């Protein structure tokens, strides 16, 4: 047996370990202190009751012989795929057929698994700072990667790669910077992909946090994108499904990849849980929609609060308008970890050091709006004292 030696090329996942080590060390020294967690990348508000009721009903159905269900279709139930098209795409004049929508157990697995559709010698371009899944999957597959830096100087809009890229990972609204692309900026990427016969894997996990008009909600709002883009969506952040597990991936037939992805899913994935799919369906009912919207609006209000108050204190901040993340430059020319340590030791606040998401993140930290309002208010008061 020979192992996949590409795994040796993966970076240690030191970021979150390093954060928790420092937090534990601080608490060991100061056992009476409580840390305010302002860096969390996971939702914290409970599921709306309409969604829980849908899951209860699904469980009830599974408990009776007449309504029991076993395996569903590998691509997901037709009722969910049709509802996704009717609600997420048709109102934006995007034409998709149900066989182009694949229900998943969340975006994370598909973002990695899609990598299987492409030859090993493809060159990959990934925006940076970044969520680690795109790079890790490419490294496991042994592919070469070019990182596309996003920083204040280019307005967090990545430049087109100098070396031709076959596979391009974009994520907007972005984790960790909270920034978005305009229609024109995204069109530049679609045109690049069409000219270069590249494929764009578009992570739209934070789509429902978009508040500004004229920001594209789907890459398919751009003309020609159906030829060159796969869109990956998730109910994790929009509906609080990080524990429920459900998402979907759109693979348009015009990419030429739809039959391959169908085959891949039929062979290696036996479908998303019926209960999770009923929960996803419930996010589109009036009550379910109102419930998830209330949670998103709560997080967005928190994000706006953090952004406004930090700006008021003189901090240079980005994001927070169309995303639950605020990207904040460290003061006094500090690097990410120095600012992290000051926030921890002087304010008892935990954030996420920007450099953990890639080299361009150095000198920044990420604050998250996935916290309760009281902790957030308290954290902002303490930051005010950090002169
Ligand atoms: C949270 C998140 C996802 C969602 O992952 P799931 O597997 O659906 O929970 C995808 N992309 C980014 C950038 C995220 O931050």
Q: Is the model's pLDDT at 223 over the cut of 90?
A: yes
pTM, two decimals, is: 0.97
Task: Examine the fold and report which residue of 231, 263, 286 is the final residue of a domain before the chain moves on.
Answer: 286
Q: Is residue 203 part of a domain?
A: yes
Q: How far is the CA of 357 from the centre of ligand 1 (A)?
A: 14
Nearest Cα residue to atom 7 of ligand 1 = 108
Helix (H) or strand (E) holding 264, with range, is: helix 258-268
Q: How far is the CA of 134 from the centre of ligand 1 (A)?
A: 11
- Residues whose beta carbon lies within 6 Å of some atom of ligand 1: 106-108, 131, 171, 175, 203, 205, 234, 236-237, 242, 247
CATH number, domain at 345? Answer: 3.90.1150.10
Per-residue CA distances from 245 to 10, 174, 288, 369 (Å): 26, 21, 17, 21
Q: Is residue 100 part of a domain?
A: yes
Q: Which of 169, 203, 240 to mutate to test the pocket of ligand 1 (most atoms within 8 A of CB)?
A: 203
**Going by C-beta distance under 8 Å and a sequence separation of 6 or more, which residues neighbour residue 27?**
33, 35
Contact 109, 234 (CB under 8 A): no
Q: How confident is the model at residue 14 (pLDDT cuts 50, 70, 90)?
A: confident
Q: Is residue 7 part of a domain?
A: no
Q: Is the model's pLDDT at 331 over the cut of 90?
A: yes
Three-class DSSP category at 368:
strand
The string of pLDDT tens digits covering residues 56-111 is 999 999 999 999 999 999 999 999 999 999 999 999 999 999 999 999 999 999 99
Task: Examine the fold and report which residue of 286, 304, 334 is the final residue of a domain before the chain moves on.
Answer: 286
Q: Which of 234, 327, 357 to mutate to test the pocket of ligand 1 (most atoms within 8 A of CB)?
A: 234
CATH number, domain at 227? Answer: 3.40.640.10
Helices and strands, counts by H and E, the chain: 13, 13
**Does residue 228 share a domain with residue 98?**
yes
**Does residue 24 share a domain with residue 160?**
no
Nearest ligand 1 atom to the CA of 107 is 8
The string of pLDDT tens digits covering residues 148-195 is 999 999 999 999 999 999 999 999 999 999 999 999 999 999 999 999
- Structural domain span for residue 126: 49-286
The arithmetic mean of pLDDT across residues 361-370, rounded, is: 97
- Look at residue 264 in the predicted model and tell me its pLDDT: 98
Nearest Cα residue to atom 11 of ligand 1 = 205
Q: Is residue 5 part of a domain?
A: no
Q: Is residue 319 part of a domain?
A: yes
Q: How far apart are CA 364 and CA 74, in angstroms?
A: 42
- Look at residue 387 in the predicted model and tell me its pLDDT: 67
Task: Examine the fold and report which residue of 269, 286, 303 is the final residue of a domain before the chain moves on.
Answer: 286
Residue whose C-alpha is closest to residue 136's, from 106, 102, 169: 169
- Look at residue 90 in the predicted model and tell me its pLDDT: 98
The arithmetic mean of pLDDT across residues 225-248, rounded, is: 98
The total of structural domains in the chain comes to: 2
Q: What is the DSSP string of 154-187?
A: GTT-PPPPSS--SEEEEESS-TTT-----HHHHH
């Amino acid at each position: 047996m020979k192992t996949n030696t590409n795994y040796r090329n993966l970076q240690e996942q030191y970021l979150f370990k390093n954060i928790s080590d420092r937090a534990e060390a601080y608490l060991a020294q100061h056992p009476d202190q409580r840390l305010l967690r302002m860096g969390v990348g996971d939702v914290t508000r409970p599921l709306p009751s309409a969604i829980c009721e849908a899951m209860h009903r699904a469980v009830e159905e599974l408990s009776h012989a007449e309504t029991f269900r076993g395996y569903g279709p590998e691509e997901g139930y037709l009722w969910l795929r049709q509802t996704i098209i009717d609600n997420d795409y048709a109102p934006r004049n995007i034409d998709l057929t149900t066989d182009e929508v694949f229900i998943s157990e969340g975006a994370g697995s598909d973002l990695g698994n899609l990598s299987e559709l492409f030859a090993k010698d493809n060159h990959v371009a990934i925006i940076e700072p970044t969520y680690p899944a795109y790079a890790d999957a490419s490294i496991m597959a042994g592919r070469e990667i070019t990182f596309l830096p996003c920083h204040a100087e280019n307005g967090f809009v990545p430049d087109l790669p100098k070396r031709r890229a076959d596979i391009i990972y974009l994520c907007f609204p972005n984790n960790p910077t909270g920034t978005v692309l305009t229609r024109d900026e995204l069109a530049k990427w679609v045109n690049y992909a069409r000219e270069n016969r590249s494929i764009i894997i578009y992570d739209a996990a934070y789509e429902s946090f978009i508040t500004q008009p004229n920001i594209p909600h789907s890459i398919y709002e751009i003309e020609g994108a159906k030829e060159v883009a796969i869109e990956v969506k998730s109910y994790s952040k929009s509906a609080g499904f990080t524990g429920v597990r459900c998402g979907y991936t759109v693979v348009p037939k015009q990419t030429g990849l739809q039959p391959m992805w169908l085959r891949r899913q039929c062979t290696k994935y036996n479908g998303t849980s019926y209960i999770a799919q009923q929960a996803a369906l419930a996010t589109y009912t009036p009550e379910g929609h109102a419930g998830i919207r209330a949670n998103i609006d709560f997080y967005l209000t928190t994000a706006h609060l953090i952004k406004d108050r930090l700006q008021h204190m003189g901090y240079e901040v980005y994001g927070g308008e169309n995303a639950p993340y605020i990207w904040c430059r460290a003061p006094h020319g500090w690097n990410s970890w120095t600012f992290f340590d000051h926030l921890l030791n002087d304010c008892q606040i935990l954030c996420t050091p920007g450099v953990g998401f890639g080299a361009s993140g150095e000198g920044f930290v990420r604050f998250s709006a996935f916290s309760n309002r009281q902790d957030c208010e308290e954290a902002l008061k303490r930051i005010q004292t950090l002169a």
